[in-house]
Amino acid sequence: MRWRAAVAALIAAASVSAHAAYDRSKLHPVYQEKSLYRNILVLEGGGYRCITFGRYHGEQSCIELAQPGRLVIPYTKGLFSGFYAVSAPRRVLVVGLGGGVLPRAIRDAFPQVEIDSVELDPAVARVAVSHFGFKADERSRVYVDDGRVFVRKQKRAGVRYDLILMDAFEKDYIPEHMLTREFLSEVRSILQPGGVVASNTFADGELQALEAATYQSVFGAVVDVEMDGGNRIILAGRDGLPSMQAMAATAASLDARITPLGFDSGYLLPRFKPQQPIKGVRVLTDQFAPSNLLLRLRH
Amino acid sequence: MLMSEQTYLTASAKPGRLLRSAVIYMAAGWSGFFVMGVELLGGRLLSPFFGSSIFVWGGIIAVFMTCLSAGYLAGGQLSMRAPSLAMLGALLMGAGVLGLPIIAVGTPVLEWLSYAVPDPRYGSLAGALLLFGATTVVSGMISPYAVRLLIADLNQSGRSAGVLYFVSTLGSAAGTILTSFYFVLYLELNTIILSMIGVSLSLGCLLMVFGRRRA
């Protein structure tokens, strides 16, 4: 609670100053915690506050203290491309809470949407509240659970989502049980008809082709949204994706809602690239998932 | 028994005795390899149902340690009655055969358990016990039983046990590193487990034939 007050004070103080460009070299640690899973590090500087899992890892998510509603890190903007591929989503699942930036931005842009967020690490969920001003409420719930285990529970409970945003992968670590054909099939099974999954991925090297083959084996044709900073968003639909024209039209109609988050359809749409069909590449399965080893093997 | 074995040592049949010791060490080393290979892959098998957090690994490791310790007791007890190479071979084969349900019913059992026991701690504990318990108990029986077969002379018993621990723990290390670094990079989990069961059965057969011939 003390932290929440401090955040509010900081935000108020910072909002007087002008908008400053994000500069990661200005960040310095303000809080750290060794959790069961990670070294959680909160960094601050130059008007921004970020959560990371190690000084030399990428930032998981950041807020601009003066305008905490704006999205800072490119991939968080990229995940909103999921909204271009569904019509009138009512219930959204966010896998991987981070600083709580995504559910908060969804709440701001789409107040009527019901949001479930699932986060493995209870310490991360606490830091989202204490340092990033995230607030759960009856329409934005947080569950502390393994992402895959939670998806299976929702499947069994009959809960279905219009949109699933996956933010469980890092530049140098992949939860291997969450990048397999079986897992993606479970994800697909909790999508409503016409539902869409948008997944943040850093895969490159040998892993990229296997990842593509795995998504295509479950969803058919998928779209890559190429972001700056070495990552992509993979967009995949339960029943395929709408045409590019249809997604462009939806994107344009959402600009008024999304612009306050700090970007618009003109930023995201040119990045949409239909993924080439992959053949002759092994699909990742529960039986074969050496994703982290492959992540380190370059072509 | 002791007398006859000491005779072997001093008699011209020494090369035969060396070979006998070698196959016993091989059995113990392989058993260590097998247990750790299965343990590591066990974590993989459980992760779709219980995640892969520290709780899940805690459950798995606790089951393996408990089952090994039960196996040590049972193996020591078994060695009191007419110890033989053939019986050591039978233990290896038994551990292999008891590993088959991991492949045959692993997924449905874990699926059922994940609903029956949703807590990842007790779920992984129960899952590991059901799937890996039996094979691990029998694997644990191998080392003390092998010690009994090796010891021909009280003065040498500490050294024999020492070499056996050395071989069996080094086998565990090899099983750990080869499985987690290399096997998973090329092979499916079931293929790895089946191959390891295949080695256990072959080695068990070899011991039974060898033991019978010498008897």
Q: Is A152 on the interface with B (CB under 8 A)?
A: yes
Rounded CA gap, A121 and A144, in Å?
7
A183 neighbourhood in chain B, CB within 8 Å = 48
- Report the pLDDT value the prediction gives residue A292, as an integer from 0 to 100: 87
Mean pLDDT of A83-97: 96
Does position A3 have pLDDT exceeding 80, yes or no? Answer: no
Q: What is the tens place of the pLDDT at every residue in A230-281?
A: 789 999 999 999 999 999 999 999 999 999 999 999 999 999 999 999 989 9
Three state DSSP letters for B53-66: CHHHHHHHHHHHHH
Mean pLDDT of A147-165: 97
| Residue A205, phi-psi category: left (phi > 0), alpha (psi -120 to 50), beta (remainder) | left
DSSP state of B187: S
Interchain CB distance below 8 Å, B48 and A287: no
Q: What's the number of CA atoms in the CB half-sphere (13 Å) around residue B117? A: 15
* Mean residue pLDDT across chain B: 91
Q: What is the tens place of the pLDDT at every residue in A219-231?
A: 999 999 999 877 8
Helix (H, G, I), strand (E, B) or coil at A163: strand
CB A104 within 8 A of CB A134: yes
CB A219 within 8 A of CB A66: no
Does position A130 have pLDDT exceeding 80, yes or no? Answer: yes
B118 neighbourhood in chain A, CB within 8 Å = 153
Assign A203 a pLDDT band (cuts: 50, 70, 90).
confident
Q: Which helix (H) or strand (E) holds A49?
A: strand A48-52
- Report the pLDDT value the prediction gives residue B9, as an integer from 0 to 100: 45
Rounded CA gap, B103 and B106, in Å?
6
Q: Which residue has the tokens 């994703």?
A: A291
A180 neighbourhood in chain B, CB within 8 Å = 48
Å between A148 CA and nearest CA of chain B: 6
- Report the pLDDT value the prediction gives residue B168, as an integer from 0 to 100: 96
Mean pLDDT of B11-26: 78
- Report the pLDDT value the prediction gives residue B156, as an integer from 0 to 100: 85
For B15-51, give the DSSP string: HHHHHHHHHHHHHHHHHHHHHHHHHHHHHHHHHHHH-
A37 neighbourhood in chain B, CB within 8 Å = 53-54
Q: Is A177 on the interface with B (CB under 8 A)?
A: yes
Q: Which residue has the tokens 């008024």?
A: A256
Can you say whether the dihedral through the CA atoms of A38, A138, A109, A8 is positive or negative? negative
Q: Is A36 on the interface with B (CB under 8 A)?
A: yes
**ipTM over the 0.90 cut-off:** no
Q: What is the tens place of the pLDDT at every residue in A8-49?
A: 555 444 444 446 777 777 888 899 999 988 889 999 988 889
Q: Which residue has the tokens 């069996």?
A: B168
Q: Is B188 on the interface with A (CB under 8 A)?
A: yes
Interchain CB distance below 8 Å, B52 and A120: no
- Report the pLDDT value the prediction gives residue B8, as an integer from 0 to 100: 44
Among residues 60-79 of chain B, which lie with CB inside 8 Å of chain A? Answer: none
Å between A168 CA and nearest CA of chain B: 13
Å between B189 CA and nearest CA of chain A: 5
Interchain CB distance below 8 Å, A288 and B44: no
Phi, psi of A101 (to 5 degrees): -65, -40
B44 neighbourhood in chain A, CB within 8 Å = 176-177, 286, 289
Does position A299 have pLDDT exceeding 50, yes or no? Answer: no
To probe the interface with A, which of B53, B112, B191 has the most A CB atoms within 10 Å? Answer: B53
Q: Is A287 on the interface with B (CB under 8 A)?
A: yes
Q: Is B180 on the interface with A (CB under 8 A)?
A: no
Per the annotation, the verdict on A167 as an active-site residue is: yes
Least CB-CB distance to B48: which of A182, A290, A294? A182
Q: What is the tens place of the pLDDT at every residue in B164-179?
A: 999 999 999 999 999 9
Q: Is A285 on the interface with B (CB under 8 A)?
A: yes
